[in-house]
Amino acid sequence: MVRETSLVPSDLIQGMFVTDGENRREPIPSLPGMARLSVDLLVEECKRIRELGIPAIALFPMTPQERKTPDGSEAWNQDNLVCRACRALKRTVPDLGIVGDVALDPYTSHGQDGVLIDGQIVNDLTLESLKLQAVAQAAAGCDVIAPSDMMDGRIGIIRAALDAEGLSQTMILSYAAKYASGFYGPFRDAIGSSSALGKADKKTYQMDPANIVEALRETALDIAEGADMVMVKPALPYLDIIQTVKTSFGLPTIAYHVSGEYAMVKAAAERGWIDGDAAMLESITAIKRAGADAIITYAASDIARWLRG
């Protein structure tokens, strides 16, 4: 009766991984409970997710190694994994929202999010690739385009490209405050970019974890360029950023409970050190309490089942 923060399944977005083949389920060791699913199994799982009251998924591909190139051109192939999965999902679960990740790292042979020339990410060349990727995903059925690359100016370029193609109803969720975090490792395992990235990092375009004014500046720029929603990533180490972004701008604010945040709870629970279910629910509730309007998490379907009792 006196609870101040209520968590419901409609607050959640389920993170999902798709892979090539049929009837294929590949468990991800560093993400306990998660697997890469072929399109047919993805569709069946998404039917169950929608029945739980979860309104949307965030979709990420495991691109076959032979389709990875230095320029990441598979990203805008209209028959790539994400586009095929979107079309299949819209045929069978049409009221499930699809958030499409726009970045080149699942598709590049070097594992970076942008075009790499002489060891440097070239911002403006990357923008040309990102707009092609965004249009391909939106045309295939993505309801929300979510650029996670952190290139400067990409929101405005993508908005103009979508509008020019008659896709003005497609929303843009900007990864506005995406930090150069140590919590991304299991995700990079899941999409197969860890080995390609090697010892390189993404600190030239992702944000310094010590900065908050920069997060506000980046968010303001993305809103000015046409973002419909903004994101803070990761979530738990940045609850202050979530709260400040929400109160400063009032725009729908999404938080990404990332792979490392999820995996450390799962790992500790497997060792009997904590009550994993309680810790996961507490974590997601804290993110909602900080001001997030919705939360991307790999625990979404589990939490929705717990909430239903």
Rounded Cα gap, residues 202 and 200, in angstroms? 7
Q: How many residues does the chain have?
A: 309
Q: Does residue 178 carry a catalytic annotation? A: yes
Yes or no: say if 188 and 242 are a contact pair by the CB < 8 Å rule.
no
DSSP of 125-194: HHHHHHHHHHHHHHHHT-SEEEE-S--TTHHHHHHHHHHHTT-TT-EEEEEEEEB--TT-HHHHHHHT-H
Q: Which of 68, 131, 178, 288 is catalytic?
A: 178
State the number of CA atoms in the 13 A half-sphere of 290 facing the CB: 26
- Single out the catalytic residue among 131, 202, 233, 266: 233
Return the structure tokens found at 150. Answer: 């952190």
Annotated ligand binding at 218? The verdict is: yes
Annotated binding site for Mg(2+): 218
Annotated binding site: 218
Residue numbers annotated as active site:
178, 233
